[in-house]
Amino acid sequence: MVKDARPSRADYYHALAKALPADALVVTALGNASYLWAAIHHVPENFYIEDSMGLALPLALGLALAQPARPVLVVEGDGGTLMHMGALVTVGAVRPKNLTILLVANGVHAASGGQKLTNAGLDFAELARAAGIRRAKNLSTPNELAANLKSAHEGPQVLVLSTAPDIEVVRPPIAFDPVLAKQRFMSAIEAPRYIPTLFGGGRLEREGGTQRKP
């Protein structure tokens, strides 16, 4: 059996943890994208996606627009990106300056068992540029990732990480509860709690009272 010579997801994650800005917000896709990141760098500013393949980028895009003063990074897979190509196109149209997309290109749907992509040879950096994201690069080493994260630029940017597949599930250090993860993250960014009302509308809870949603 020939060993895959590409760096592992863990190799890239260790480089990411060292180069990550102190005020960064990180959104990770389902499966090992979240489990491994939690094992390496578990902080309240992480938002872990569970059981929603391809939706890490749409969430991160909204977050980048809502938090323009903070760097937002999202880890999405090649398979997840193909499932929701519209999100990449929307990033190219909106162009949030604070958004960095780390696209794990391992050629398989790792979170669902390792099935090969329909087009494993697709150039995702070229695809991102075609979608209107001017800064898009193919990277092959963790050092390249660290260097690109530390360099000053005006985003958005897509960094495609050539990665060996990691099919075996990593055990995270915490139980993944979506409600608790949301509440922890909302507290970290000091977001008001949304209080739904019957028949729509709703309001945002503020200190000392509530504020009706526009």
For the segment 169-193, what is each residue's pLDDT rounded down to a tens digit? Answer: 888 888 888 889 889 999 999 988 7
- On the question of pLDDT at 210 being above 60, the answer is no
Per-residue HEC secondary structure of the chain comes to CCCCCCCCHHHHHHHHHHHCCCCCEEEECCCHHHHHHHHHCCCCCEEECCCCCCCHHHHHHHHHHHCCCCCEEEEEEHHHHHHCHHHHHHHHHHCCCCEEEEEEECCEEHHHCCEECCCCCCCHHHHHHHCCCCEEEEECCHHHHHHHHHCCCCCCEEEEEECCCCCCCCCCCCCCCHHHHHHHHHHHCCCCCEECCCCCCCEEEECCEEEECC
**pTM for the whole thing?**
0.87
Residues 6+ apart with CB under 8 A from 121: none
Residue 99: strand pairing partners? 72
- In the chain the domains, ranked by start, together with CATH numbers, are 9-176 (3.40.50.970)
The predicted-structure confidence for 24-35, as pLDDT tens digits, reads as follows 999 999 889 999
- The pLDDT value recorded for residue 33 is 93
- The pLDDT value recorded for residue 214 is 42
Nearest residue to 76 (alpha-carbon basis) of 160, 20, 147: 160
CB 77 within 8 A of CB 111: yes
Share of residues in the chain with pLDDT > 70 (%): 91
Question: 151 or 162: which carries more pLDDT confidence?
Answer: 162
Nearest residue to 100 (alpha-carbon basis) of 12, 188, 35: 12
- On the question of pLDDT at 157 being above 90, the answer is yes
Question: 191 or 136: which carries more pLDDT confidence?
Answer: 136
Would you place residue 111 in the very low, low, confident or very high pLDDT band (cuts 50, 70, 90)?
A: low
